[in-house]
Amino acid sequence: MNIYIGNLSYRLKEKDLQQVLGEYGEVSSVKIITDRESGRSKGFGFAEMPDDEAAQKAINELNGAELDGRTMVLKVAVPKS
């Protein structure tokens, strides 16, 4: 399952996010979106978890949770149409 994670701290690294999500199951990839020119985080990213049940549990428990001083928003990512 592909997960959208928003309202992230600009200081947060992909490995930090992978560690938090890893508590719920296997995480196959994490990508924090960055600005092309400055390389700075845009404050959101995506994670891929192969086990849909573990991914849904992570979404349910981490949505609204605080990480590095920010309240995260997690939901199932839907592809652009």
pLDDT, one tens digit per residue, over 23-71 is 999 999 999 999 999 999 999 999 999 999 999 999 999 999 999 999 9
Count of structural domains, the chain = 1
Whether 8 is covered by a domain: the verdict is yes
Tokens of 64: 């609204």
Torsions phi, psi of 45, nearest 5? Answer: -165, -170
Separation between Cα atoms, residue 15 and residue 21, nearest integer Å:
10
**What is the model's pLDDT at position 79?**
84
**Structure-token match 């349910």, residue found:** 60
Whether 63 is covered by a domain: the verdict is yes
**What is the model's pLDDT at position 81?**
77
Whether 81 is covered by a domain: the verdict is no
Whether 23 is covered by a domain: the verdict is yes
Q: Residue 58: left (phi > 0), alpha (psi -120 to 50), or beta?
A: alpha
Domain that holds residue 33: 2-43+52-76
pTM of model > 0.75: yes
- DSSP class of residue 8 equals -
**What is the model's pLDDT at position 80?**
81
Q: What is the CATH number of the domain that holds 16?
A: 3.30.70.330
